[in-house]
Amino acid sequence: MDKILTKNIAPSNEEIIIVKAKGSVLWDKKGKDYIDFSSQTLNLNLGQSHPLLISAAKRQLAKYSFLSSRFMSTPFLNLAKTLVRLAPKGLTKVNLKLTNGSDANESAFKRARKYHKKPTIVSFYFSHLGETSETISASGKHFKNRSYIGGSQCFAFFHPPHPDFIPSAKSIAEAERASLTELSELLEKRGDICGVIVEPIMVNAGVYVLSPSYLKSLRGLCTRCNVALIFDEVQTAFGWLGTFFAADKAGVTPDILTVGKALASGFPLAAVLMKEKYDVLEYGEDEFTYGGHPVSCAVALKNIEILEKMNLAETVLEKETFIKNLLYGLKNDYPFIKEVRGTGLIWVIDFDEKKSPRSASEIYDRAIKNGLILRKSKDGEGSALVIKPAVTVSFEELTEGFKRFRKAIE
């Protein structure tokens, strides 16, 4: 099979054909089961094949399968209203005619640029904002070799607030101050900046959680300098943190907020929420054919209804406490685990690769062999493994998953 697939999508290890999945468990064609701590592409907040989502999709398909932008579907309109109701106060406009997180971030860039009439967006080194030319250009992880892939290149970068990125800082507080100073100098020095985009949790960089006080300072700085503060919540929205948005948890309202991944819990859909003044694009500037797909919108509405009914904050807190105990147990037993970081249901295990008998990549492969799906972090090259289980994962699955994790490490 890998002979016809392009090398970016061909599996790097043994091909696993999945034939069935339910919740957080998948089965391959040999009948072997896998507990999924990755929520696949870090997007299945309610796990696989949730019965209520299946019914919502079927009900919508039986009515009609697709409508062009000329005709508004009821789920599309209802979802728009629901998102504005749930969004941080002040984000009163929404565009749902988007499919991927990359579309949503590009929409945010276009809006900030058009409103402020300036081209440059500031982003973190090591950020991951998507894979279109423009979002690769914006992603700090491609900082060194992004030019060959195109995009406007109208981006400037600053360091995330953690000593791993600012080695001169001795603590997170020091790193936060250094990062804010760097941004403030950038904003002062350059007259061409229209916005600052951050991921409130930098998941792909290795699960670095921006503190509420840092986000509040960013808010203040962007307001003072009259640039848009953009939160990329593609990873953080819809459940993993016990709130609908990371912005709620931090108590900070950005000017523009982007969502994708878990919005429709496994169906393609993305959205951008904004303050009214950023509603500046015309027809033909920000709609994609499959954006706002009625089936995805119907599933997204049901997804939100399920999250609203489940007492999300308590559910996530209970599972977070359980996961933290298991993670700190691992760290205690294996001294080559340098750090565990995270919040809610998004965590990383960072190995000290000089001391660890096995690399993170080897542990990842062994975990799959033992029936546990983890996620490689730091773009698959680093020393860390991410876990982001579904909100619906059971305590039994967590316990069994961690048993398999230990077997993979040993």
Ligand X SMILES: Cc1ncc(COP(=O)(O)O)c(C=O)c1O
Q: Which stretch binds ligand X (CB under 6 A): 96-104, 176-184, 245-253, 324-332?
A: 96-104
User: For residue 31, which amino acid is it?
Assistant: G
Q: Please report how close the Cβ of residue 96 comes to ligand X at its closest, in angstroms.
A: 14
Q: Does 47 bind ligand X (CB under 6 A)?
A: no
CB of 199 to ligand X, least distance (A): 5
Whole-angstrom distance, CA of residue 276 vs CA of residue 256? 10
Tell me if 405 sits within 8 A of 367, measured CB to CB: yes
The torsion angles phi and psi of 257, rounded to 5 degrees, stand at -135, 130
Q: Which stretch binds ligand X (CB under 6 A): 14-22, 94-102, 276-284, 328-336?
A: 94-102
Residue 101, classed as helix, strand or coil, is helix
Residue of minimal Cβ distance to ligand X: 101
Residue 25 CA to residue 148 CA, distance in Å, equals 40
Q: At what angle do helices 395-409 and 312-333 cross, to 10 degrees?
A: 20
Residues in the chain: 410
> Closest approach of Cβ 100 to ligand X, in Å?
3
101 binds ligand X (CB under 6 A): yes
Q: Does the protein bind ligand X through residue 100 (CB under 6 A)?
A: yes
**Least Å from the CB of residue 395 to ligand X:** 27
Residue 20, beta-bridge partner list: 27
Q: Least distance from C-beta 76 to ligand X, angstroms? A: 19
Task: Choose the stretch contacting ligand X; rule: CB under 6 A; options: 97-105, 153-161, 312-320, 338-346.
Answer: 97-105
CB of 203 to ligand X, least distance (A): 6
Contact between 128 and ligand X by CB under 6 A: the answer reads yes
Q: Which stretch binds ligand X (CB under 6 A): 199-207, 219-227, 355-363, 380-388?
A: 199-207
CA distance linking residue 93 with residue 108, whole number of Å: 12
Stretch that binds ligand X, among 98-106, 161-169, 210-218, 364-372 (CB under 6 A): 98-106
Count of residues in contact with ligand X, rule CB under 6 A: 14
DSSP label at residue 277: G
Segment near ligand X (CB under 6 A); pick from 127-135, 291-299, 334-342, 353-361: 127-135
- Indicate whether 137 belongs to the interface with ligand X (CB under 6 A): no
Closer by beta carbon to ligand X, 204 or else 392 = 204
**Residues from 229 through 248 that contact ligand X (CB under 6 A):** 232, 234-235
- The secondary structure of residue 367, as a DSSP letter, is H
Q: How many helices (H) and strands (E) does the chain have?
A: 13, 17
Under the criterion CB under 6 A, does residue 204 sit at the interface with ligand X? Answer: yes
The one among 130, 160, 206, 239 contacting ligand X by CB under 6 A: 130
Q: Which is nearer to ligand X, 53 or 346 (CB)?
A: 346
Least CB distance from residue 142 to ligand X, whole Å?
Answer: 13
Closest to ligand X by CB, 101 or 151: 101
Please say which residue, 102 or 137, places its beta carbon nearer to ligand X: 102
The C-alpha atoms of residue 63 and residue 65 are separated, in whole angstroms, by 7
**Residue 149: CA count within 13 A, CB half-sphere:** 15
Could you tell me the two tokens for 318? 């209970």
In sequence order, the 6+-apart residues with CB closer than 8 A to the CB of 321 are none
Reduced to 3 states (helix: H, G, I; strand: E, B; else coil), residue 111 is helix
CA distance linking residue 188 with residue 223, whole number of Å: 13
CA distance linking residue 328 with residue 307, whole number of Å: 28
Using CB under 6 A as the binding rule, whether residue 392 contacts ligand X is answered as no
Considering only residues 35, 86, 129, 209, which one is a binding residue for ligand X as defined by CB under 6 A? Answer: 129
**In the complex, least distance from residue 43 CB atom to ligand X, rounded to whole angstroms:** 8
Nearer to ligand X, 134 or 199 (CB): 199
**192 Cα distance to chain centroid:** 28
Distances (CA, A) of 30 to 19, 20, 36, 198: 9, 11, 17, 43
Whose Cβ is closer to ligand X: residue 41's or residue 145's? Answer: 41
Write down the residue that tokens 């400037």 correspond to: 156
Please tell me whether residue 102 binds ligand X under the rule CB under 6 A.
yes
CA distance 39 to 37: 6
Note the residues at the interface with ligand X (CB under 6 A).
100-102, 105, 128-130, 199, 203-204, 232, 234-235, 260
